[in-house]
A and B are shown apart, each in its own frame.
Chain A
Amino acid sequence: MKAYATKLIDLTESHAEKIAGQWARDVKTNVKTPSYRGVSDEKIILQAAEFYRHFREMFFHDAPYEQAEKFFEGYTEERYREGIPLHEAVYALILMRRHIWLYAEFQAIFITAMEHRQAVESLSRTILMFDYAMYVITRKYRDLMKLEWFEPPNT
Chain B
Amino acid sequence: MKAYATKLIDLTERKAGDMAKRWAADVKKNHRTPSYHGLPEDRMIEQAISFYTNFRQMFFTENPYDTAKAFFTKYAEARYREKIPLQEALYALILMRRHMWLYAEFQATFITSIEQQQAAESLNRTILMFDYATYQITEKYQELISRDVDRKLGAVKTIMMEGAGGGKKGAFKAGLMGVLLLIACVLTYYYHATLGKGVIFTHLFYIPIILASIWWRKKGVLVALFLGVLIILSHAFFLEGAPLNDDIVRAVMFVVIGFVVARLMEGLKKVEDLYKTLST
Q: A94-B135, A113-B116, A155-B145 are in contact. Are A120 and B123 (CB under 8 A)?
A: yes
- B90, B98, B271: the one contacting A147 at CB < 8 Å is B271
Tell me the complex Cα distance, A78–B135, Å.
19
Tell me the complex Cα distance, A153–B123, Å.
35
Q: Is the CB of B134 within 8 A of A134?
A: yes
Chain B, residue nearest A140 (CB): B87
Tell me the complex Cα distance, A138–B117, Å.
33
Q: Least Cβ distance of A23 to chain B in Å? A: 14
> Chain A 85-109, CB within 8 Å of chain B: the 1/0 string?
1110011001000100000000000
Q: Provide 22 A-B residue pairs closer than 8 Å at the C-beta atoms, listed in order of the A residue.
A: A32-B135, A85-B278, A85-B280, A91-B135, A94-B131, A94-B134, A116-B117, A116-B120, A120-B119, A127-B127, A131-B91, A134-B94, A138-B87, A145-B278, A147-B271, A147-B274, A153-B145, A153-B149, A154-B80, A154-B83, A154-B144, A154-B145
Q: A83-B278, A145-B274 are in contact. Are A116 and B116 (CB under 8 A)?
A: yes
B213 on the interface (CB 8 Å rule)?
no
Q: A87-B135, A90-B135 are in contact. Are A142 and B87 (CB under 8 A)?
A: yes
Chain B, residue nearest A65 (CB): B32
**Interface majority SS on B: helix, strand, loop or mixed?**
helix
Report chain A residues within 8 Å CB of B278: 80, 83, 85-86, 141, 145
Tell me the complex Cα distance, A86–B120, Å.
29
Which chain B residues numbered 235 to 280 have a C-beta less than 8 Å away from chain A? 267, 270-271, 274-275, 277-280
> Chain B 147-162, CB within 8 Å of chain A: the 1/0 string?
0110010000000000
Chain A, residue nearest B128 (CB): A98
Q: A83-B277, A120-B116 are in contact. Are A149 and B267 (CB under 8 A)?
A: yes
Which residues of A come within 8 Å of B, CB atoms? 32, 80, 83, 85-87, 90-91, 94, 98, 113, 116-117, 119-120, 123-124, 127, 131, 134-135, 138-139, 141-142, 145, 147, 149-150, 152-155
Q: A153-B148, A154-B145 are in contact. Are A138 and B116 (CB under 8 A)?
A: no
Q: Least Cβ distance of A68 to chain B in Å? A: 12
Q: Which 7 A-B pairs have the closest CB atoms?
A: A138-B87, A113-B113, A87-B139, A87-B138, A139-B87, A153-B148, A131-B94
Q: Is the CB of A155 within 8 A of B127?
A: no
Tell me the complex Cα distance, A152–B142, Å.
11
Chain A, residue nearest B98 (CB): A131
Q: Is the CB of B138 within 8 A of A138?
A: yes
**Given A147-B274, A152-B149, A154-B84, 15 new contacts (CB under 8 A):** A85-B277, A87-B135, A94-B135, A113-B113, A113-B116, A116-B117, A117-B116, A120-B120, A120-B123, A127-B127, A134-B90, A135-B87, A152-B275, A154-B85, A155-B85
